[in-house]
Amino acid sequence: MDRTDLKEIQSLPGNDQCFDCAEIGNTQWASVSFGILFCIECSGKHRALGVHVDFVRSLTLDSWKSEQVALMKAGGNLKCFNSFKASKVPMAVTDGGGRNGLVNDSNDFLERYTHMGATKYKEQLLKEIVQQSKSVIVDPDSSTTTQLSDEEKDGIYRSARLDPTLAWHKPILPVITKLIALSVQVVFGFPVFPLLLLLGFARVVLYPANTLLQGICWLVIFIPLAGSFLFGRYLYKTIINDRCPPFKSAQNFLSERIIQGRAIRIEGKYDVFLPSSTDKNIHNDKKDDDDDNTKNKRIGLILYPAPMINHTAYSQIAAKISDKGNIIVVVMSMEPFRMNLDSVENETKRALQVMYELLTDIAPNYPVSEWTIGGHSLGSHLAIKVAKATSPGTSKAVIWGCITRPLDYKSSTLSLPTNKIDVLLLIGSEDKSVNSVPERNNLLTILPPREGSSGRTIYRTIPGGNHNGFGHYERPKNQKKDGKRTITLDEQQRIVVDETVQFLLGRTSSTTSSGAVDVMPKSKAAVVGAICSKKNE
Ligand SMILES: [Zn+2]
């Protein structure tokens, strides 16, 4: 950068003071993303946000492209300050250039520069430059944006919009085979075979002429066959009729995220949402943390969608968790069946394969040191089983809106080894499928609540939330099982993101700030009472 440019940038209003800590006369560092200057100490925290959020340059040491210089000239600390203030972005600097109470640690930085108002300002600044020069100026850090041709972008949009309601007709044969195998397995799983053998032996050898015995023999064969047929038919109908597309907004969101380089779709397998920062030390800023083991950890979350729901429906919520907690979030695709018809062993292998692929191939810059598993609805059953199978490597599981009555609801396959896996269970207060007393009692037995040293499950209820509100989809056929949300989808997901991130980062405290109520699911009345008292606070 030449002297006149440097002088011009330094003389912009507010540029003599560090944007973040208000230190005067030491602004040698710049953010090309926001067009602001700051001190060397704050530059480290800017860098930690990652180039996707914030691109940092030294005014004197680094080389500058002409469009970057133009952006710095269009920006300025005061201009950015006023815009941030107007959109309520949390800042540590006050109007007069002094300091307010904000600690200004890396958490605050993350919140500040990933705030919606900050993102908008960044985009606005870019637009100004583009209008000025009439040439395409690009965010200096997102080189991926420029390299994509229109065809490539079209391809991304096409992949995100793969018609989810019609895709079933292609793999119809494997679906049917799988269904037959599953129903035979389930129905013949009952101990009828020894009985059948005994009866057959009696019929043929001992009483060859007994017609009553003959009748019983036929019944023993016929009942399981009819049973498998009916069960298979039920599953088949469910898989076809209950399929639910994601909102278009979710598909567009995913596409844009991929174009920005912040998400990767491995078609037919999973979607990865990348944190804004590659800095693996991002989680070590806990203030009252004396456990060295939780430091320097990059957390990953593998998320299993609800049955019949296209996994794209979870794009927004996954991205928000990733943004807020600097967590890698993998949303598993359950296509083509959209429910787990495979063995837990195979699903566990699949999860381990995903962890391996991310580390070696897909996202080597984001090495995950602690994996956690989560799931929504029936997906949470799979999540628990996979978490169990991968423990002690997996120490945490998140359950969103546990489900009605699947086959294994009461079985011990869902109870966890005590003192091995921490669980967060989030339920909407309007979720009719889990708010009946017997179902809640079941949950309490399977996942004992955290009280003293016994259980390890934290129960939280989202006031006004429902069963569908964890993803971007609406399931009209589910109306009988699911109540109506009394809060917006955004509000429910904000609470879910807050609680999930706090839990995964090991920061869940006894008092919740998200708006969720800390209550054991003993009865609907208890939940309502807790919500009322929360409102009155
Ligand atoms: Zn500073």
> What is the SS3 assignment for 509-524?
CCCCCCCCEECCCCCH
Residues 6+ apart with CB under 8 A from 120: 87
The 10 Å CB-count burial string (b at 16+, else e) for 31-54 is: bbbbbbbbbeebbebbbbbbbbbb
Tens of each residue's pLDDT in the chain, 537 residues: 888 999 999 999 999 999 999 888 889 999 998 999 999 999 999 988 887 788 899 998 888 888 788 889 999 999 999 999 999 998 888 877 777 778 888 888 989 998 989 988 988 888 787 766 543 333 444 444 456 778 888 888 888 887 655 455 555 566 667 767 776 666 666 666 677 777 778 777 887 777 787 787 777 777 777 877 787 778 777 777 788 889 999 999 999 999 988 999 998 899 999 998 666 544 444 444 444 444 457 899 999 999 889 999 999 999 999 999 999 999 999 887 788 877 788 899 899 989 888 887 788 888 888 899 999 988 998 998 899 888 878 889 999 987 555 556 666 667 776 557 899 999 888 887 776 667 777 777 778 887 766 668 888 889 889 999 999 998 776 666 788 899 999 999 999 999 999 999 988 776 667 777 766 544 555 555 655 665 555
pLDDT at res. 306: 92
Q: How far is Cα 537 from Cα 528, in angstroms, rounded to an integer?
A: 14
Q: Give which of 441, 456, 350 is closest to 399, Cα–Cα.
A: 456
Number of CB atoms found within 10 A of residue 123's CB:
11
- Per-residue burial over 85-101, b = 16 or more CB atoms within 10 Å of its CB, e = otherwise: eeeebebbbeeeeeeee
23 C-alpha to ligand 1 centroid (Å): 6
Cα 27 to averaged position of ligand 1 atoms, centre (Å): 8
CA of 48 to the centre of ligand 1 (A): 14
Angstrom distance (rounded) from CA 436 to CA 404:
10
Secondary structure string (H, E, C) spanning 472-535: CCCCHHHCCCCCCCCCCHHHHHHHHHHHHHHHHCCCCCCCCCCCCEECCCCCHHHHHHHHHHHH
CA of 50 to the centre of ligand 1 (A): 18
CA of 84 to the centre of ligand 1 (A): 17
**Residue 448 C-alpha to ligand 1 middle, in angstroms?**
47
Which residues lie closer than 8 Å to 138 by C-beta, 6 or more apart? 67, 145, 146
CATH architecture of 3-147: Orthogonal Bundle (1.10)
- The whole-angstrom separation of Cα 159 and Cα 264 is 11
For 371, list phi and psi in degrees, rounded to 5. Answer: -95, 140
Which DSSP letter does residue 137 get? Answer: -
**Residues near ligand 1 ion, CB 5 Å cutoff:** 18, 20-21, 23, 38-39, 42
pLDDT of residue 165: 56
Residues contacting 205, CB < 8 A, separation 6+: none
* 248-283+296-536 to CATH, choices 3.40.50.150, 3.40.50.970, 3.40.50.1820, 1.10.3720.10: 3.40.50.1820
What's residue 170's pLDDT? 52
Kindly provide the residue ranges of all beta strands, DSSP E only, lying in 401-478, ordered along the sequence.
Answer: 422-428, 457-462
Paired residues of 273 in beta bridges: 263, 329
Residue 234, pLDDT score: 80
Q: What torsion, rounded to 10 degrees, do the Cα atoms 503, 507, 509, 512 define?
A: -70
> Is the Cβ–Cβ distance between 262 and 273 less than 8 Å?
yes
Q: How far apart are CA 278 and CA 370, in angstroms?
A: 15
Question: Which residue from 492, 497, 458 is spatially nearest to 111, judged by alpha carbons?
Answer: 497
Report how far residue 394's alpha carbon sits from residue 375's, in angstroms, rounded to the nearest whole number.
14
125 CA from centroid of ligand 1 (Å): 22
Q: How far is the CA of 16 from the centre of ligand 1 (A)?
A: 11
From the CA of 24, how far away is ligand 1's center (Å)?
9
Ligand 1 center to 40 CA (angstroms):
7
Half-sphere exposure of 232 (CA within 13 A, CB side): 19
First-residue to last-residue Cα distance in the chain: 56
CA of 12 to the centre of ligand 1 (A): 17
Q: Would you state the structure tokens that stand for residue 191, as one six-digit string?
A: 């101990």
| Separation of CA 440 from chain center | 25
Contact present, 271 and 334 (Cβ < 8 Å):
no
